[in-house]
Structure 1
Amino acid sequence: MLEIITGRAGSGKTAYVLGQIYKELMARPLGPAIILLLPEHMTYKVERQLAAMMEKQGRGYMRCQIYGFKRFAYHVLQETGGALEQGITDMGRQLLLKSILDKRYSQLKVFGRASRQRGFANVLSSIINELKGYGISPELLQEAGDSIDDSRLANKLSDLAMLYGDYNDAMAGRYNDGKDIMSILAERLPMSKMVAGAEIWLDGFLFFNPLELKVLEGLFTYGANVHVTFNMDDMASPQGQWANQEASGLFNRAYISRNRLLQLAQRLNISVEYRHFAETKRFANPVLKALEAGFDKRRMEPVAGAADISLVEAATCRLEVEAAAADIIRLVKEKGYKWRDIGILIRDEDSYGDILNFVFKDYEIPFFSDKKRQCANHPVAELIRSAIAITEGWSYDDMFCCIKTGFFRLTAQQTDLLENYCLEFNLKGKKVWRRQEPWEYFSRYSIDEENEQADSKQMLRAATADQLRRQVAEPLGRLQDALKAAADTRAMIQAIYQFMTDIEVPKILQEWSDQAEQSGALDVAREHQQVWNDIMEMLDQLVEVSGDTKMSIKELRQLLEEGLSSLEMALVPPGLDYVNIASFDQNALDNIKAVYILGANVGIMPGKSVENTVLSDADRMHINRNNVIELSVSGEEASFNENYLIYKAFTQAREYMWVSYSLSSPAGDAMTGSEIVTKIKSLLPENSIKTIPLDWISKFSEDDQLKMLANKRQTLSSLAIALRELRDAGELSELWQRVYNYLLEDEDVKGMVGLIRRGLFMNPRLDKLPRDIAKELYAARGVLRGSVTKFERYNNCPFQFFAQYGLNLKERKISRFSSPELGTLLHAVLKEYGERLNKEGRRWGDIAPAERDALCHEILHRLAPRLNNGVLYNSKQMEAQLRRLESTAKFALKRLAEFDHVSKFHPQLFERSFGGNHGPEDTLELVYKLHENNRLELVGQIDRIDVNEQGSHFMIMDYKTGYAAINLVDVYYGLKLQLLTYLLVANELMKRGQDTPMMPAGMLYFFLKRPVLTMKNHSHDPEFIRAALDEELKMPGWVLLDKDIAEQIDNTLYTDNKSRFLKISYKKDLSFSLPSLKMLKSQEDFAVLMGYIELILQETGEQIMDGRIDIQPVRKDSQTPCKYCKYHPLCGFDARLEGYDYRRISGSDGEIMEAITNKVKGEIQAQSENKSDGKEE
């Protein structure tokens, strides 16, 4: 007998099924078997329900068995001896299909490119499952392809038939999958003693595919009675047929399934009985009852009892979830609900899954989500992926992906040390990581020293890095050796397993699980416990499907990546009392007290249909028209299915329902409520929608605000919003004052309250450091020492200086070639070149081009290997960079030689150091007294000092690889002090041993670069090109306002009335041109400027020692030091925010020079008065 049990949602079908089973168990505990078949995701809940019913009577049960179809099949096969072949999992099937795709790649007509894409094996597995479910063989599929006139579709079916046939051949006699098991189950049912005479119940199914119908045929034949429930109204009975299938609407798929069962019963000559539940008994709430009854209507009349249904719109998904969380806590606290009485249903898991996770943890709501976790995101999966990749090349990225999984027992500090060491010295590749000799790399402080030795600190760092390297590389090396020696895939998998056990992966996972459990993260603890078993099962499946195959390491890696990317974990709930979060299509919340439905937006409810990527709906309709095979049209089925899922979701709650939607997507796009929201609105009184705006604190009543507060942790977030409104509006309500004071007295959170307050009311004008702290940071022994650049940095931005030199924050060193390294090497080449010529008594302009180039090449290639541990020899790209650098060096030497030809100033000193310990006799110190017995000491190097042939004047030259210029505004504000400081040092130096002191003739920047010229005309005229280069490379700086000295510096000024190397020219009357005057300074100007440099350096030193660390960068026109500042994330400077501002500077040359002169004169006068006062005393 077949009993068809129908009724709409909430009418009592499941209660009837369980009630009948309960009665039978109570009456005959040891009678024939009772089998209850359910969708897989419902079995756990129904088992608990039946057990609870029996427990009330102090009874258990053995007679009733509750299964999903798959578990039922395995049980029958075990009973009847049909489970002899190895079962293959979904993962094993995908791995098998991936290997088939790789072998058939060149023969595929349509799917060739797709077969290389990750995830295609999963798509192929789905279509093969569907074909098996519909009883379509590879031969039938090929026949269908042969009968189709569309060549592309015919080729597509031909590809599918070939792959499907290969799959069946591989499975034959060795494995069975889920669909095979269903076929075997149908064959084995006649042999099952459990099924013979059993009372069989099926509940919760919407649709049966042909294979399941074949099983049902066996149950009809060999079972005693079969009872099947359908979620349908009474129009499904023989007395009330629908006019056609489409008219069935919501119940379309149930209608089709019921008809197929009736046809099957008629064919088997089995009697049919009908039982219909017309009254909906679930809903205690009249609105919920009305919603179910009119779900397929466009509009419904308002119903009393709206207090038990909430319709909410929120500004964002986050606010929507937070409002739902607060309402859940209200139900628990005020209505006495248990957590298990409440369920969450979501259609858009991508948008809401993570938010629910974060918010529920904040609100301390216990919850469980039945969404499967991706194993690919777990560290074990990354360990396998990166470890296999390492054996192919030992790249930096793969190495540290592997190390950072945490399985090599390196601490975070040890990992950072090892990574920084590898980056600094460009350590990568098998030879480096597996070398027997220890790592003994160290940084050079100078490329001039040929035999520089490492200090003790560097040696300790190298030894530590080497020990950590061996700890990682040795097990990875053994894995590489084992993989290369492996005869087949089985041996390769054994090598991977051995590697993981060698580094104690199972033990570490257990440790992580214990730690997570102790911290209350039970779901994370279970992930760590389960992932090992799931991955072992995947590896076992790989051995089963490809164990005897020989494959390369690359093929193995690709196969493992495919498997890991689709491997999922299904976790068991951590307890009994929790809020259940479910998707619409994995929904086991039937008859729960309260349901929260989130994301009721257009485009989400109903969701958009996504076509199968292998066979589109158009393909399927074309195939069906040929009448060889028949496939379902997925888009049409998806539409019916989607409407049914929504109906089912909105009819689950028996007492209370919350429906909400967001007004904006996570990406910020505007969104609206779906059609279902409109239906619910029609049931409720006017203005029943509750809105949660971004500024809900100012918009909500005090009662509503209190409802949003759940616990201390969450209230802190709300307090931040309230305090932000206080900052903007200037007042804080009495409620939030009480909240603030309450949290401030709580020891657990008062620190966070202070942090929130400081963050919101932060003053970017930082307090000064105490002088003793400033001294400890910058001048521990009373000496503030540094280069000119260091003090320029302070004047550009005090906070930047504090971050770099006070906090000593540094970017990690990376072996690369950038502008600083370029400058270092070129400076060293020019220094050695010049010193050699001076030693030999030769002038730069006298050296033949060939000798000059050869000497440059020899010096460069002797010094280059010392730079950044040979970075210029690390790759072909770097070697090309070295060739370009050599070209630049030769070009610079050529230009300097040409300058030497026309100048009476010739280089005398190179890289002349001052300050610090650079020799007992000729060391020049530049030291200034500061307050409290502190002093400022400048250290540095002058690139080059030239002296004229008469020995009366000197000038300094500073090499620059980039742009450089000097102006009075920058000097006045302390932003460009370098050239004048060098001039000041050289002025003191050149006085030594001289009866008549030398006088400064100028200070110049020389560019170490080869400009790129854009030539519109005369592009092949050498003279035009030379003139353009001269103009581009003219040396900026300042020169003495003296025609004779200017012409000594560059004689072309005398011969051509225009300097080739300086930005100076004559007018017709042989006086300096007006533009030239910007580059000319009188002897008095130089004296004043050098005096000013001493003052500004002292002032800068005093400000540093006074503890000033203002976040106030300089701004000159549009230029600021913030553009390339690496400390910006620390200071957070933003000129658009209140309290932040630049120190703006400007002024004409005349105004600035006058201010500098007055300041120097004022200081001279003050010193004179102090001396006079001292004498009088």
Structure 2
Amino acid sequence: MLNLVYGRAGSGKTEFVFSNIKKLTENKNSNIVLITPEQFSFISEKRLLKELGEGRIGCVENLSFSRLSNEISRLYGGDRLPVLTKGARAVMMKKAIQTVQDSLVLFNKNTENNSFINSVIKIYDEMKSCRVFVEDIIKASDSVDKEMLSLKLKDIALIIEAYDALIEGVYFDSENELTRLYHKLVNLDYFLGKTVFIDGFSGFVAQEYKIIEVILQQADKVYITFCTDNPESSDENGMFSYVNQNIGILKGVAEKIGCEIESETILSGNKRALNEELRLVEEYAFSNIVEEVQSIPENINLFCAKNISNECDRVSCEISKLLRNGCRAKDITVICRDLDKYQKELQFSFSKYDIPFFNDERQKISSQPLIMLVNFLIRSVVYSLRSEDVFSLLKTGLTEIDDNEINSLENYAFVWNITGSKWKNEFTESPRGFTEELSEKDKNQLIKLNENRKYIIDIISRFKRKCASANAQDISKALYYALIDLSADKKLKELAITLDKNGKSFLSEQLERVWDLLMEILDKLAQTGGSEVITLREYYKLFALMISNEDLSSLPEGLDNVQLGSANRIRCDNPKVIFIVGANEGEFPQSVISSGLLSESDRAMLINNDFKLYSYGKALNAQEMYFAYMALSSAREKLYVSYISGAQNNSESSIIRGIRNIFVNIKTQSSDDDYNLDSIQSDENAFELLASHFNDNNEFISSLKEYFSLKNNYKSRLEAVSRLIDNNEITLNDKKLAVDIFGKDMYLSASRIEDYYNCAFRYFCKFGLNARPIMKAEMDPMQTGTVIHYVLETIIKETGCKTLSQLSKEEIVILVNNALSDYLKNKMGNSEEFTSRFKYQFMRLSKMIVFVVLRLSEEFSQSDFDAKAFELRIGDTQKGDEVDSKVVNLDDGGSVRIKGAVDRVDTFEKNGRKYIRVVDYKTGTKEFLMSDIINGLNLQMFIYLFTLAQSESEYKGISSGVLYMHSSRRVISLDRNDYNELEKAQNKDFLMRGVVLNDEENEIAKHMEHNLEGRFIPVKYSESKGFSGNIITAAQLGAVSKKVDSLISSMGINLHSGLISQNPANGKNHDKTCEFCDYSDICKNRKEVFERTLKDLSNPDAIEEIVKETENA
């Protein structure tokens, strides 16, 4: 006999069930079966133990439909076929599709796509649960009027038939479990004489109805509960319409088999809610008839969040208050509709507030380190040792190579562009890039790099060999042995032990389960892959498909946890407090449209042809309203509902509107509400609140500042926030630390002076923190400049200036090519390793350099200055440098010494006096500005000039000029055959920039360019205009020398004082300081960076200002 029990949420349906079970056991009845949804099994077990005690709990079989199947197999035996896992099902479905691919009409394209395979699995599952068979599908395809739908159904039928044939007698698909259970039950008397209670279901699928049919035929009494207050309602859009539809189906089943309906009980009243406010929400939130309440509710809270992070933090804050006031975590449940959207944010927020939680949703395994290891091991072979795959493999942490060694390996691969087959060759180049010879440090690094390279490549290569001409079983075995070779099993065990020791036993157990699951996956791939030879690429597709379909259940960390779940899946155990998040229109309740292989219109047409599948359209929306109703009605004491104001669809949903319709004066809290002591539930959230309101001038914020200033682990963070919000300049407050970082007596390259005056903070990052970017070993502009310097130096050394001026172009071409070949062979490491393309591009420099040398040849024919030194090293003569650097003493007792190398030093002697000029080869065409000196920029060549002129070396003499020679050609746009204009443009480009000594009658300038036409040096003479250009007197050069020393001294004192502010230079020639800065991302964390505007003066005005400044000093 069938007994139906109806009632709204909280009306006591489950209480009715357990009360009757208790009475039956008290009357010595032990033939009782309780069937609940799978998620409710544990809760039911606890309730039975509580109601019946240990003595009588054995009288009741606590089952779900799947557990009922297991029980029948245990008692009466079951099929011995291996059960397909989710991943194995996907692989077999892929194979089934492949077998019929040529016969498919509509779905004959993109069949290899994983999303298509998963869509087929979804429709297969739906057909099976609705007891729709292949013959039913074919019949429907013949009866529908829509040709496209007919073709769809025929293709679906072909695939399902192929899949069933493929697994028949070999594997068992769990989607057929209930059908198999039904066929078993009809031949058994399992339910004979039993009293069966079915509780907690909102409805059933066709397979389950067939099970219930057997139960009704065999059992003495059957009690089934439904959540509805009007089972006879015909409203198709009502909140309980889905439930009522299922009641109608159940009654039809009972009538068909002649089972009498003994009773229909409608329970009334809300026995769950412990206050009137929650009772009103349950009754009227989704009702057309509303009872308005004027008072502000005490147990219902609405919150409007700015974003999802703000919403989750608010939930965490309120939960922390509840826990602090004595509520148990297990009495709190958080419900959302889209768990994928909220899961990570909630988990992060819970961890921040130290809230224990449990989410019983199954987790994808694709991000597990062990799975990623296998994934990238296969990819390393399939994609021919692509570096990104090799390093992704190593970074799983499950190999013998530690993090530091991985970083070194990755740096080397970046510098030398190691990928593909290059991994198989021994590393022979310097880890630093292009170098003339390997240092001892380089050699030692290479030994370790090659050890690690060989370790990983040998394992990958061995795995590759085993996979050649192999079947799926062979490849699975090869993968297992590769894991052992990598020591992945040992590393995983070590990690598990560490986690266990740190109180993370649940994560430790999870690692063990992932290993077991991977072994099962490899085993299933071996079974389902067949005995035929398969390529590793095809195996990888199957592996990826299987991984995408496998998941892992979560294990609770303890017994007292906040429960987190999605509204359509969660089963609450009468929690005291419910939090509903994401109550936005279209999100919760969710706006649902049928997706997959069958559209809404397809399903509507099938229904009209008596072909019944899952609900669609309005029925789905009614189900969504039911989910929302159940969530709203689950709390016993308090209800919190939140939504996001800035969401894509930012209007509040029917959940919020329903509550407002009842409590017309309810207040909606927001993140803009005043903060107080209740807003603080943990140090972390208190600090976030402080950071958000740092500039508020009140006692509360001042107290927080004082509190965190006394906590060592927050002190530096507090200073960082203060600096950011107040936009304070960055300084090193500890002067001793500043001196330790930069050194009391600094020994710097001349280029560092410009680095500092370009931006002190960039200098700190680069030379204080030594955070420098790794440079690729390639022909970039910097490397090109180095090559040009070498060639010019080599040729001038070999020929001398006068001889060079007399050589033909053909002779110069030979010299240039010889020098380039020598550089490639002796200065760039092992040139045999370079590609033909690289060597070709390198030798293409010849044409450009020949042009430069020809230009030099012309200049030397016009000059009495002779090149005496190339790459002249200034530093410490006791360490092999040619000239000692100048020492600038600092007022604080420290000093600065400048080292460097001068591209070329030219000298000229007259009347027993030696004149010195320095020449710098530049690949760029930056304008020379004397105002740069005032701004602390472009000092390098002046430092070299003054150091040489004032030294005790052979280069001591009179400072005569600083010149910058352009050493590369640019593209010039001109009309075709306009050779005169081309020559003019080239002459302009190759006119040396800089400044030349202005002595009596500019004699020195004439010795640099005899006719002073301004073709080679930046000085010219004409009868009408006299002398013009960049000239400077000896006295003025003396002033510049003092200015340079002053700038070096200021830099040293500032660094010792910790002055490293973010004030980048901005002016002529220096307007892109930040654009090309390697550290610009760091500065983005500052509210505003103030640029230092450079003085922009003409060269004469700049010289005059320098003179005045030094005179005043």
Q: TM-score, normalised by structure 2?
A: 0.90
1:454 aligns with 2:439: yes
Say if 1:874 and 1:63 are closer, same or farther in 2 by CA, change over 3 A.
farther
Q: Is the 8 A contact 2:353 2:681 kept in 1?
A: yes
1:717 aligns with 2:713: no
Q: Is the 8 A contact 2:732 2:738 kept in 1?
A: no
The two structures, once aligned, show a CA RMSD in angstroms of 3.7
Q: Is the 8 A contact 1:344 1:580 kept in 2?
A: yes
Partner in structure 2 of residue 1125 of structure 1: 1077
Say if 1:223 and 1:445 are closer, same or farther in 2 by CA, change over 3 A.
closer
Task: Quote the Cα distance in structure 1 between the aligned partners of 2:490 and 2:881.
Answer: 66
Matches within 5 A, 1:406-445: 406-429=397-420, 432=423, 441-443=429-431
Q: Is the 8 A contact 2:83 2:171 kept in 1?
A: yes
CA-to-aligned-CA distance 1:453-491 (integer Å, 9 cap, x gap): 422x33333333344445544444443333336x31012
Partner in structure 1 of residue 39 of structure 2: 41
Task: Quote the Cα distance in structure 1 between the aligned partners of 2:657 and 2:507.
Answer: 40
1:329 aligns with 2:320: yes
Partner in structure 2 of residue 301 of structure 1: 291
- Deviation at residue 125 of structure 1 after TM alignment: 0.9
Partner in structure 1 of residue 1040 of structure 2: 1089
Partner in structure 1 of residue 678 of structure 2: 707
Partner in structure 2 of residue 254 of structure 1: 243
Task: Report the AA paired with residue 463 of structure 1.
Answer: I
Report SS of the residue matched to 2:298.
helix
Say if 1:689 and 1:98 are closer, same or farther in 2 by CA, change over 3 A.
farther
Partner in structure 1 of residue 1024 of structure 2: 1069
- Deviation at residue 260 of structure 1 after TM alignment: 1.5
Partner in structure 1 of residue 968 of structure 2: 1009
Task: Quote the Cα distance in structure 2 between the aligned partners of 1:828 and 1:601.
Answer: 69
Matches within 5 A, 1:737-756: none
1:272 aligns with 2:254: no
Task: Quote the Cα distance in structure 1 between the aligned partners of 2:179 and 2:97.
Answer: 26
1:1025 aligns with 2:996: no
**Which deviates more from structure 2 when the two are superposed, residues 761-770 or residues 579-588?**
761-770
- Deviation at residue 601 of structure 1 after TM alignment: 1.4
Partner in structure 2 of residue 1175 of structure 1: none
Task: Quote the Cα distance in structure 2 between the aligned partners of 1:738 and 1:778.
Answer: 37
- Deviation at residue 677 of structure 1 after TM alignment: 0.8
Partner in structure 2 of residue 1115 of structure 1: 1066
Partner in structure 2 of residue 732 of structure 1: 698
Matches within 5 A, 1:660-675: 660-665=642-647, 671-675=650-654
Q: Identify the match of residue 792 of structure 2 among 830, 847, 850.
A: 830
Task: Quote the Cα distance in structure 2 between the aligned partners of 1:713 and 1:1107.
Answer: 31
Q: Is the 8 A contact 1:964 1:1005 kept in 2?
A: no
Task: Quote the Cα distance in structure 1 between the aligned partners of 2:612 and 2:798.
Answer: 91
Q: Is the 8 A contact 1:489 1:547 kept in 2?
A: yes
Partner in structure 2 of residue 1172 of structure 1: none
Partner in structure 2 of residue 557 of structure 1: 540
Partner in structure 2 of residue 388 of structure 1: 378
**Which deviates more from structure 2 when the two are superposed, residues 9-18 or residues 875-884?**
875-884
- Deviation at residue 414 of structure 1 after TM alignment: 3.4
Task: Report the AA paired with residue 499 of structure 1.
Answer: A
Say if 1:609 and 1:857 are closer, same or farther in 2 by CA, change over 3 A.
farther
Task: Quote the Cα distance in structure 1 between the aligned partners of 2:327 and 2:635.
Answer: 13
Task: Quote the Cα distance in structure 1 between the aligned partners of 2:207 and 2:434.
Answer: 78
Q: Is the 8 A contact 2:1065 2:1094 kept in 1?
A: yes
Report SS of the residue matched to 1:205.
coil
Q: Is the 8 A contact 1:425 1:869 kept in 2?
A: no
Task: Quote the Cα distance in structure 2 between the aligned partners of 1:843 and 1:1094.
Answer: 39
Say if 1:380 and 1:990 are closer, same or farther in 2 by CA, change over 3 A.
same
1:541 aligns with 2:507: no
Partner in structure 2 of residue 216 of structure 1: 212
Matches within 5 A, 1:463-862: 463-484=447-468, 487-521=470-504, 523-623=506-606, 627=609, 629-632=611-614, 634-665=616-647, 671-686=650-665, 688-694=666-672, 696=673, 699-700=674-675, 705-722=676-693, 724=694, 728-729=695-696, 731-733=697-699, 735=700, 763-764=728-729, 766-767=731-732, 770=735, 776-779=740-743, 782=745, 784-838=746-800, 843-862=803-822
Task: Quote the Cα distance in structure 2 between the aligned partners of 1:320 and 1:414.
Answer: 42
Task: Quote the Cα distance in structure 2 between the aligned partners of 1:198 and 1:94.
Answer: 39
Say if 1:743 and 1:1089 are closer, same or farther in 2 by CA, change over 3 A.
closer
Partner in structure 2 of residue 195 of structure 1: 191
Task: Report the AA paired with residue 474 of structure 2.
Answer: A
Q: Is the 8 A contact 2:945 2:959 kept in 1?
A: no
- Deviation at residue 494 of structure 1 after TM alignment: 1.6
Q: Identify the match of residue 132 of structure 1 among 108, 128, 133.
A: 128
Partner in structure 2 of residue 1174 of structure 1: none
Task: Quote the Cα distance in structure 1 between the aligned partners of 2:156 and 2:850.
Answer: 66
Q: Is the 8 A contact 1:250 1:640 kept in 2?
A: yes
- Deviation at residue 1068 of structure 1 after TM alignment: 8.2
Task: Report the AA paired with residue 605 of structure 1.
Answer: F
Say if 1:921 and 1:663 are closer, same or farther in 2 by CA, change over 3 A.
closer
Q: Is the 8 A contact 1:82 1:184 kept in 2?
A: no
Say if 1:740 and 1:970 are closer, same or farther in 2 by CA, change over 3 A.
closer
CA-to-aligned-CA distance 1:369-398 (integer Å, 9 cap, x gap): 122222112111211111111233222211
Say if 1:432 and 1:409 are closer, same or farther in 2 by CA, change over 3 A.
closer
Report SS of the residue matched to 2:617.
helix
Say if 1:1052 and 1:642 are closer, same or farther in 2 by CA, change over 3 A.
farther
CA-to-aligned-CA distance 1:550-573 (integer Å, 9 cap, x gap): 221122222222222332212233
Partner in structure 1 of residue 871 of structure 2: 911
Partner in structure 1 of residue 178 of structure 2: 182
Q: Is the 8 A contact 2:473 2:529 kept in 1?
A: yes
Task: Quote the Cα distance in structure 2 between the aligned partners of 1:921 and 1:815.
Answer: 27
Task: Quote the Cα distance in structure 2 between the aligned partners of 1:165 and 1:1026.
Answer: 81
Report SS of the residue matched to 2:698.
coil
Say if 1:758 and 1:898 are closer, same or farther in 2 by CA, change over 3 A.
closer
Task: Quote the Cα distance in structure 2 between the aligned partners of 1:646 and 1:276.
Answer: 22
Task: Report the AA paired with residue 282 of structure 1.
Answer: R
Say if 1:621 and 1:848 are closer, same or farther in 2 by CA, change over 3 A.
farther
Task: Quote the Cα distance in structure 1 between the aligned partners of 2:782 and 2:107.
Answer: 52
Task: Quote the Cα distance in structure 1 between the aligned partners of 2:706 and 2:1021.
Answer: 77
- Deviation at residue 1005 of structure 1 after TM alignment: 2.0
Q: TM-score, normalised by structure 1?
A: 0.86
Q: Identify the match of residue 344 of structure 1 among 310, 334, 345.
A: 334
- Deviation at residue 218 of structure 1 after TM alignment: 2.6
Task: Quote the Cα distance in structure 2 between the aligned partners of 1:752 and 1:1084.
Answer: 53
Q: Is the 8 A contact 2:724 2:1085 kept in 1?
A: no
Task: Quote the Cα distance in structure 1 between the aligned partners of 2:921 and 2:104.
Answer: 64
Task: Quote the Cα distance in structure 1 between the aligned partners of 2:628 and 2:872.
Answer: 82
Say if 1:1043 and 1:1148 are closer, same or farther in 2 by CA, change over 3 A.
closer
Task: Quote the Cα distance in structure 2 between the aligned partners of 1:37 and 1:955.
Answer: 99
Report SS of the residue matched to 1:573.
coil
Partner in structure 2 of residue 1036 of structure 1: 993
How many matched pairs? 1105
Task: Report the AA paired with residue 901 of structure 2.
Answer: Q
CA-to-aligned-CA distance 1:687-739 (integer Å, 9 cap, x gap): x2242324x4xx24xxxx232222444434334445x0xxx24x332x55556
Task: Quote the Cα distance in structure 2 between the aligned partners of 1:794 and 1:748.
Answer: 32
1:1152 aligns with 2:1108: no
1:87 aligns with 2:83: yes
Report SS of the residue matched to 2:677.
helix
- Deviation at residue 1113 of structure 1 after TM alignment: 3.4
Task: Report the AA paired with residue 25 of structure 2.
Answer: L
Task: Report the AA paired with residue 1011 of structure 1.
Answer: R
Task: Report the AA paired with residue 561 of structure 2.
Answer: Y
Task: Quote the Cα distance in structure 1 between the aligned partners of 2:731 and 2:359.
Answer: 47
% identical equivalent positions: 23
Q: Is the 8 A contact 2:916 2:958 kept in 1?
A: yes
- Deviation at residue 152 of structure 1 after TM alignment: 5.0
